[in-house]
Amino acid sequence: MFSRYLVWPLSHEVTNVARSEATISRSGLRRLSILSLVAAVGCAVLVGGCGRAGAAAAELSAQEVAELRAAERSETVLSKVFRVDQKYRSMMGPHEIVELQLGSDLSEGSDDILWITGYRAEMVSADGKRPMPQEFMCHSNLDIDVASHQETLDVDISFSPRLFTLSQGQLEIDFPSGYGIPVHRRETMALTTQVLNLNHDAPKIDVRHRVTVTYVPDSATAGRMRALQPVAAYGLALTEGESGHFGVEAPEEEVHGPGCLVEQPASDHSYEDGLGRVFTGHWQVPPGRQENRTLVTHLMNVPYETEMHYVAVHLHPFAESLELRDLTADKVLFRAEASQFPGKIGLAEVDHFSDPDGVLVYPDHEYELVSVYRNTSGETQDSMAVMYIYLRDRRVEERIAELRGRGV
C-alpha cells in the first residue's frame, strides 16, 4: 500500500532537532537576528500580517504550554537488527520499512484526531538499550498514505507524504508548543530506517534504530493546537538538457535566479521536467568548494500567505551550509550551517529552524535554495540539499474544528 510513496522525490534521508521552546542551535543567535530583521520588514510591508502570525504562540500561557506537554504521549518503535559489516554510502545500506499506527490503546471516537508534536531517531545496540554511534544513521523517514490521510480527515487538500526525515546532524524534531501535524488514529504510516557506514572497512557491528513519535490526542488540547503541513524544498542539479529551472519554460534571471549546476548524478534518482531537461536531487561533488542554486518555488507550492514555523535540513557529509532565500523580497529566510565529525566522514551537527511566531511566506514570491559543499576528501562525494519546511495549515485547522463539532 505504500508504493505510492515512490512518487515522492526523496524516498530518502533526513534530519534532527533539540527539545526546547525557543530552539537555538549552534548558529541560533545569528539566525534569530536575521529573522528579527525579516520580521520587522515584513510588518512594515504587511500591516496586520505579523500580528496574526505572532498571535498563535502568544495565545498560549505558560500554564497552557505545560498542560499540552503533560498530555503528550509517545510511541517507540525498534527497527530490526542491522548487521553492519562493510562500508555503505548514503542510501546504499540495508533498510527496513514497517507500518506504524498511533494511539491504538485510545478510545474510538473522542480520541480519533491526534497531533504529532515530535519525532526522534537514535542508533542503539541489538538489545535496544545502549546508545550506539550516530555515524551509522543514514536516515529515518515517516510517511503517511496520502489517500488515507485525505479520507480519514475528510479533506480535499494535497499533502506531501513525507512527515519527517531525520539523518546525521539532527536526530530530533520538536515543534514549538501548540503546533503539530494532525493525523487520524486509523491512519497507518510507513516508517523507513536505513544504516550507513562511511568510515569502517569491516566493523561487524549490530545496530538498530529506535524511533519515537510524540503526539497529543485532540481531546486533551482544548482546541489550542495549530496545524503544520510539511513541504520539501530540495536542491537539484541538471544532468541532461539546456540549463534552466525545473519546469520553468522561460526563466528570467532577475526573477528566478541563475539556475542550478550542471553535474553528474550520484544515483539514478532523476526527474524530468517535461521541457526536455533531466534533473537529479542526488548529485556528485568533486573535490573543492561547490555552490548550487535551485529555484524551489514550485516545490514549496505555498498555497496562501502563511508562516513557516519549523525547518529540518538534510545534507550529506562535507556540506557547509544551506540557505533558503526569498528572491522576491531579496532576503535570507533561514541559513543552516553544518559541522563535520572530527577525524572521520560524517555530519556532527546541522542547524534547524524553530519559531512559534513564524516567518511569513507568500504564494506569489519566488524561493531559492543555495547549498555549499566543501569536499576535502580528495575524491568525488555524493550530495543532497533538502529543507523540510513546516507551514501553518489553516485549511486543516478549519476542517478539524468542523470534525470536532460533529463529535469526531
Binding footprint of Cu ion on the chain (CB under 5 A): 12-13, 384
Residue closer to Cu ion by CB (options 176, 235) is 235
Parallel, antiparallel, or unpaired: how do β-strands 205-217 and 162-167 relate?
unpaired
Residue type, 295: L
Report the b/e string of 167-194 with b at 16+ CB within 10 A: bbbbbbbbbbbbbbbbbbbebebbbbbb
Residue closer to Cu ion by CB (options 177, 292) is 292
CA 282: distance to chain centroid?
Answer: 16
Parallel, antiparallel, or unpaired: how do β-strands 367-375 and 353-361 relate?
unpaired
Least CB distance to Cu ion at residue 162 (A):
13
Coil/strand/helix, residue 134? helix
Residue closer to Cu ion by CB (options 333, 384) is 384
Measured at the CA of 255, the angle between CA 249 and CA 260, to 5 degrees, comes to 65
Residue closer to Cu ion by CB (options 13, 307) is 13
Coil/strand/helix, residue 301? coil
Task: List the grid coordinates of 271.
Answer: 526527474
Residue closer to Cu ion by CB (options 218, 382) is 382
Least CB distance to Cu ion at residue 295 (A):
20
16/349 Cα distance (integer angstroms) = 9
Least CB distance to Cu ion at residue 210 (A):
21
Residue closer to Cu ion by CB (options 173, 384) is 384
Least CB distance to Cu ion at residue 175 (A):
23
CB count within 10 Å of CB 111 equals 15
315/14 Cα distance (integer angstroms) = 8
Least CB distance to Cu ion at residue 74 (A):
26
Least CB distance to Cu ion at residue 338 (A):
13
86/288 Cα distance (integer angstroms) = 27
Residue closer to Cu ion by CB (options 12, 208) is 12
Least CB distance to Cu ion at residue 87 (A):
16
Residue closer to Cu ion by CB (options 112, 351) is 351
Instruction: With beta carbons less than 8 A apart as the criterion, state whether 98 and 210 touch.
Output: no
CB count within 10 Å of CB 237 equals 25
Indicate the DSSP class of residue 16: -
Least CB distance to Cu ion at residue 316 (A):
5
400/153 Cα distance (integer angstroms) = 8
